[in-house]
Amino acid sequence: MNNQRNARNMLGTKAQPAPRRKKIGDNWYDIHAKRIRDARSLVDVWVFPKQFEVLPNGELKCSEWTEIASSVKDAPRNVQEWVPVLHRADDLEGHLEEGSRWLWENRLPRADVCILAGCAGQGKSLIAIDAAARVTRGDRWPDEAPGQAGSAEPGDVLIINTEDSEATTLERLRAAGADLSRVFLLSELTPVSGDMSQNIPVNIAHTDCLEKLILQLDDCKLLIIDTIAENLPPNFNSNSESSVRQIMRPLRLLARKHEVSVLLPCHTGKTKKRAVHAPLGSTSWGASVRHMLLTEEGEEKGSFLLCVGKSNLGSTRDATRYTIELSESGTPVVAIDHQRQDISADEALSRRGTDQEGPFHPGARGPEPKKLNDAAAWLMERLADGPVPSTVIGKESEEHGIRPATLKNARKRLNVNSERLADGAFYMRLPDAPDCEVLEEASPTSTVLSPSASDLEVKSTVVADEQSAPSVAAIE
């Protein structure tokens, strides 16, 4: 039975094994032999536990599977032969013209795939629409000189956006000043029969259909698929490294073959330390592309930064400030500055929830910035005169409404360590406080110190205050 089951799996049909007594010339034999040929199975020898035997009356004993295998053993086989394609390096020299690597300098690479990652509400789709409008007009990019001509001739743009309706996309294109005759929207695929009820959503894996569309357009220069998560095949595992790379490779080949810039906006996942790991899902999303952009909150309220999250083609210390404004029709558009800033995406990520005066990312872990800032300011003022016992700090922080987790983050921000002095008690002090003499090692994370004269004076004051149990204002 195992051999028969294996044979059915190789056929790819629902064929059943032949009865034990069957004539060779019956229709069953011819049908199943044809099925093997149609399946283009590369069968050499099928080995079974028993050999079939042809009886004098023309009937078979045992299964007919061995006979079928032998009947197609010498049949023509669909064997694909592959020939290597080699290119000598000096023949490729000069294939790309000088300056043609970028559609937008250090932002959108030409003939390649670029990921635009960012949190919700930071204008990823608006940036893509602005880029599409500039391509259709052949207009200059934001960082080009005001008198400089456009970076290229006008081109066509193909947009796949399932998050927004076609009406919303059209309003944004109008507000950005796009040439609508050069913009093409794609959302579904319909069968050749024309039955609209059989339409299916287009996804990132339909590279064959995308290639046909690109060939139909006069000069397609930009393909926007917004967003990645909305345009994945059904049951696709976006957390699998192999799955991500398998679906990205045909897209890269499509971009290189037709010299089209492919822009893939996507959302970011949980707070991560490196920008290359920011896209939602597997870390292979950022690793599978040669260039990646990242949006982050700027230093000023309501401003954002367009950073280079990863690049194998250019510099990563390159950011552009932009804001989201309303056009005359009330449609949101992006206003991109002409000057670039010397900051990396990793530096922008490191400011999430840690800058005392800087922005706070809404998805970052930790307390709210105001509470953290207030706790850090209180702790700095409390330790300004010298070391204070850790127990006193803990008690006073609770009286001021500072939670232990917030106090811990404030200590981390100010680099405040808890050190044990000669009396065996633990004290907190600022890193720029007067140095103390180290007596011995108490533990891998604690140090026994000998306090200086000023420290002993502060300590005696604290001990006296603790004995008399004064108020918090008296201690300060």
pLDDT digits (tens, 9 = 90+) for 166-210: 999 999 999 999 999 999 999 888 887 777 777 888 999 999 999
Higher pLDDT: 130 or 41? It is: 130
Residue 38 has, within 13 A of its CA and on its CB side, a CA count of 9
User: Cα separations (Å) of 178 from 161, 171, 181, 370, 465?
Assistant: 16, 10, 9, 42, 73
Percent of the chain with pLDDT strictly greater than 90: 32
Here the tokens at position 191 are 């069968």
The SS3 call for residue 92 is helix
Q: Is 193 helix (H, G, I), strand (E, B) or coil?
A: coil
Cis peptide leading into residue 227 (ω within 30°)? yes
CB 9 within 8 A of CB 35: no
Whether 35 has a pLDDT exceeding 50, the answer reads no
Phi-psi region of 250 (alpha: psi -120 to 50; beta: other; left: phi over 0): alpha
Which residues on adjacent β-strands are paired with residue 25? none
Helix residue spans in 354-432 (DSSP H): 369-382, 390-399, 404-414
| Backbone phi, psi, residue 299, to 5° | -75, -35
Residue 178 contacts residue 131 (beta carbons within 8 Å): no
Instruction: Lay out the sheet containing 261-267: strands in order across.
Output: 183-185, 156-161, 220-226, 261-267, 113-118, 291-297, 303-311, 319-326, 332-341
Q: What average pLDDT score do residues 10-16 get?
A: 43
Helix/strand/coil (H, E, C) string of 222-288? EEEEECCHHHCCCCCCCCCHHHHHHHHHHHHHHHHHHCCEEEEEEEECCCCCCHHHCECCCCHHHHC
Contact 221, 260 (CB under 8 A): yes
Using DSSP, how many helices (H) and how many strands (E) does the chain show?
A: 15, 20
In 3D space, the residue among 316, 318, 322 whose CA is nearest the CA of residue 336 turns out to be: 322
Residue 59 DSSP symbol? B
Is residue 463 over pLDDT 80? no
| pLDDT tens-digit map of 241-267 | 999 999 999 999 999 999 999 999 999
Residue ranges of the chain that CATH labels 3.40.50.300 = 102-350
pLDDT attached to residue 369:
67
Retrieve residue 250's tokens: 């045909």
With H, G, I as helix, E, B as strand and everything else as coil, classify residue 322: strand
Local confidence band at 418 (pLDDT 50, 70, 90 cut-offs)? confident
Give the helix/strand (H/E) hosting 9. helix 2-11
Q: Residue 63: which residues within 8 A CB-CB, separation 6 or more?
A: 4, 17, 18, 20, 48, 52
Q: What is the mean pLDDT of the chain?
A: 75
Q: What one-letter code names the amino acid at 303?
A: S
The mean pLDDT value for 410-415 works out to 87
Fold entry, domain 102-350: Rossmann fold (3.40.50)
Per-residue pLDDT, averaged over 135-153, amounts to: 73
Average pLDDT estimate for 296-317: 90
pLDDT digits (tens, 9 = 90+) for 338-367: 888 888 888 888 766 444 334 444 444 444
Q: How far apart are CA 66 and CA 70, in angstroms?
A: 6
Per residue in 83-120, pLDDT (tens digit) is: 888 878 777 766 555 546 889 989 999 999 999 999 88
- Determine the Cα–Cα distance for residues 207 and 113; give it in Å rounded to an integer: 13
